[in-house]
Structure 1
Amino acid sequence: MQDTASHAQLRARVLDWLAGQGPAMQALLRKVVDIDSGSRDEAGVGAVASALRERLEAAGVAVQCEPVPGYGVLLHGQVPGAGEGAPILLMGHMDTVYPAGTAARRPFRVEGDRAYGPGVADMKSGLVMNVFVAEAFARCGGLKTPLQLLFSCDEEIGSQATRERIMAKARGARAVFNAEPGRVSGNLVTSRKGSMVVEFEIEGVAAHAGINPAAGASAIDALARKILALHAFTDPATGTTANVGVVQGGVVPNMVAPHARAELDLRFTSDTDPDLLLARVRAVVEEPSLPHTRGRITAARRTLPMRPTPEPLLALYQRGAKSLGFEVQGEFTGGAADSGLTASVGAPTLCATGPVGGHAHTEREYCELATCVPRAQAVALAILDHP
């Protein structure tokens, strides 16, 4: 075990190196923000991975890109430690919610202390931060056990293609730091809701809306009734929310609609049984809201809730942050993330360790550039001081 003097020297080397990396972080952030990498954009996600890989390999970090057909790649990286114990894992996702062409239409820009652009907060700044934390240890040494990177490619659509690999990577990890954007307050996220998206369709019976409407059965009418029933699932007491956010249906205004479809978003806490919740949704969808109509679920995907961060891991980060001059608390949020997957396999997980940002998934999305270096330093200290 390192003595106190050598540990203090190592801390100083790591912190000093990171302190000088603000401009380089911003340059890499500009590069990756200006690459469209929406979910299922294989080429775009691959280009982001290549940009990050180039920086990592130049610093001597071993990197492997694992193909995920239809989505891009998983980026794996590792900085070896003095021992071969359980690793610490730095996580992030390379996909965004934005369609192709967004980066050309509104590329990376800086106004005052904020950077703007598609995915700048969620979560390309977190990826960049993790790259520089890994590089700091590759250059300065001092790791007791391995430090691993795992950057995924389909988080924004529920990690269906990568969840098993993420969970396998996290099993047995000493700690997981997921670099989702820090809250607007600067706080971390210590628990999250899970989410479920359910797609369903309704079949009705077509008829002329003016001549013989009674001969038809409106799929849109049936859908409207189901939406009301599904929205009634929202329950502040249990933390469950339900929102039908997409609806489509009908053919022309003077035809009783023969079909309709919708997409339902559900959010729930770790106290909720998601299988039971899905069964309740299925009962509403399949119930004949109107005679001669029929409903069925066509797809369902879910993310797991993030169980609370163990107090010692939060306290470890807080001590390092306080030594750097800022304080943070842990927050609960309704947003879902891959941290739910890692926490579900027992890995102590802390989320939203990335630079502070806001307005994710909108044209106003921003990153507070002044937080990039200190948040990187705080994660580095948590790694160094982890028992």
Structure 2
Amino acid sequence: MIIERLREYADAETPTGDATALNAFADRLAERYAGLGATVRRVPMPTGDHLVADFPGRGPQADAAPLLFLGHHDTVWPIGQLADAMPWREEDGIIHGPGVFDMKGGLVVLETALEQVADQDHRPVRIVVVADEEVGSPSARDLVTAESKGVYAAFGLEPPHPNGDLKTSRWGSTRVRIEITGREAHAALDPASGISAIDELVDQLIAIRQIITQYDEVLCNVGTITGGGRTNVVPGSAAADIGFRFVDPSTEKAVLAAVETLHAVRAAQLQVRVMSNRPAWQPSAATDELLTKVIAAGQSVGQQVGGAAASGAADTNLTGWLGIPTLDGLGPVGKGAHAVHEQVIAATLAERVALVAAIITAL
């Protein structure tokens, strides 16, 4: 049943920003969570609705602080990816398809675990599923912050490390857009009256590279560049989206301050905008203590659980940064996030269900 559910979810393609597709998928989740006993609240957003589902506790801890599970239903894949390049297939115990690893597998794991513990004693459980995680959750940050208040611990349903270890900290992640406005002119007849936005953008990207060379642990990826239109026209506009990764808040603050105070080299207009930000989630004693409890929960179902730092970012960055005991990586084991070979090991779906169920009932 769990594999069939995952196929159903993979078949429903949900690219970030496609509100129609995302809201249709949110309908499925809302119905599923309500059927499992949750009170479901929808948070409308222009780019796709977020969901909050609250499951009541049972037994002695019915009124205790809830466990928070964070997930997302958007993927990096466009509509048509399933048919054109990444058809669902299950071969030799491996499941292939868009979103099976990042992170519809994690969504299926959680709901199946909740089904299994429905008649057992446990704390209340809160689920927040956001619609724009793949672009940094710009519309969901306030929601995650609000729903994190008063929780006992937070867990992410993102993919684990390749060996199945959970994630105990994450680098910070910030998306920055550099926009240049120059002045168009004929590139041959009157080039001197033009101001090349593309030339200015190139110079600014070089300046950014020089900034990050001053720090040991900063990642910088220029993800998109746009600008210009014709080779006989001096380009009047250009832009680049840049992804930064930071190991600690102080480095993040210093680098972003330097980037935000860049000055134009020529008489162009330059604007720097932060599109999304996830602060660094650093190792903590609270998370170490939580991992110890999860290790014990894993042992109760015959599993060895480990934990390690991660460089990728997710919504758990925020809960970890807020000081909430946090672990991520409860999705199934696999590989190929954001790649055409995206896949999960089928047997680990049931293993992760058992682990999540044990966590819910043990904490």
TM-score (norm 2): 0.91
Instruction: Find the counterpart in structure 1 of residue 362 from structure 2.
Output: 385
Instruction: Find the counterpart in structure 2 of residue 94 from structure 1.
Output: 73
Per-residue displacement from partner, 1:216-271 (whole Å, max 9, x unpaired)? 33221121111111123335954222222211122211222222111111111233
Instruction: Find the counterpart in structure 1 of residue 343 from structure 2.
Output: 366
Instruction: Find the counterpart in structure 1 of residue 161 from structure 2.
Output: 183
State which of 233, 239, 260 in structure 1 corresponds to 2:211: 233
The aligned amino acid for 2:57 is P
Runs of 4+ in 1 over 6 A off after TM superposition: none
The aligned amino acid for 1:364 is H
State which of 129, 150, 153 in structure 1 corresponds to 2:131: 153
> Is this contact kept in 1: 2:53–2:127, CA < 8 A?
yes
Unaligned runs of 5+ in 2: none
The aligned amino acid for 1:205 is R
Instruction: Find the counterpart in structure 2 of residue 127 from structure 1.
Output: 107
- Compared CA separation, residues 43 and 259, structure 1 to 2 (3 A): closer
Instruction: Find the counterpart in structure 1 of residue 292 from structure 2.
Output: 315
Alignment of 1:80 onto 2:60: no
Tell me which moved more, 71-80 or 338-347.
71-80
> Is this contact kept in 1: 2:58–2:124, CA < 8 A?
yes
**Secondary structure of residue in 1 paired with 2:354:** helix
**Secondary structure of residue in 2 paired with 1:208:** coil
What RMSD in Å do the two structures reach over aligned CA positions?
Answer: 2.2
The Cα shift of 1:336 comes to 0.9
**Secondary structure of residue in 2 paired with 1:92:** strand
Q: Measure, in 2, the Cα distance between the counterparts of 1:279 and 1:216.
A: 30
- Compared CA separation, residues 112 and 213, structure 1 to 2 (3 A): same
State which of 311, 325, 328 in structure 2 corresponds to 1:351: 328
Identity of aligned residues (%): 34
- Compared CA separation, residues 108 and 236, structure 1 to 2 (3 A): farther
Tell me which moved more, 351-360 or 72-81.
72-81
Instruction: Find the counterpart in structure 2 of residue 329 from structure 1.
Output: 306
- Compared CA separation, residues 66 and 222, structure 1 to 2 (3 A): closer
Q: Measure, in 1, the Cα distance between the counterparts of 2:282 and 2:150.
A: 16
- Compared CA separation, residues 111 and 234, structure 1 to 2 (3 A): farther
Alignment of 1:246 onto 2:224: yes
Q: Measure, in 1, the Cα distance between the counterparts of 2:133 and 2:256.
A: 21
> Is this contact kept in 1: 2:54–2:124, CA < 8 A?
no
Instruction: Find the counterpart in structure 1 of residue 239 from structure 2.
Output: 261
**Secondary structure of residue in 1 paired with 2:212:** coil
> Is this contact kept in 1: 2:301–2:358, CA < 8 A?
no
Alignment of 1:116 onto 2:96: yes
**Secondary structure of residue in 2 paired with 1:242:** strand
Unaligned runs of 5+ in 1: 1-23
**Secondary structure of residue in 1 paired with 2:249:** coil
- Compared CA separation, residues 214 and 378, structure 1 to 2 (3 A): same
- Compared CA separation, residues 213 and 365, structure 1 to 2 (3 A): same
The Cα shift of 1:108 comes to 2.4
> Is this contact kept in 1: 2:136–2:278, CA < 8 A?
yes
Tell me which moved more, 73-82 or 263-272.
73-82
The Cα shift of 1:276 comes to 4.1
The aligned amino acid for 1:94 is H
The aligned amino acid for 1:182 is P
- Compared CA separation, residues 221 and 133, structure 1 to 2 (3 A): same
Alignment of 1:53 onto 2:30: yes
Instruction: Find the counterpart in structure 2 of residue 297 from structure 1.
Output: 272
Alignment length, in residue pairs?
358
The Cα shift of 1:25 comes to 0.9
The Cα shift of 1:190 comes to 0.7
**Secondary structure of residue in 1 paired with 2:117:** helix
State which of 259, 263, 287 in structure 2 corresponds to 1:281: 259
> Is this contact kept in 2: 1:180–1:352, CA < 8 A?
yes
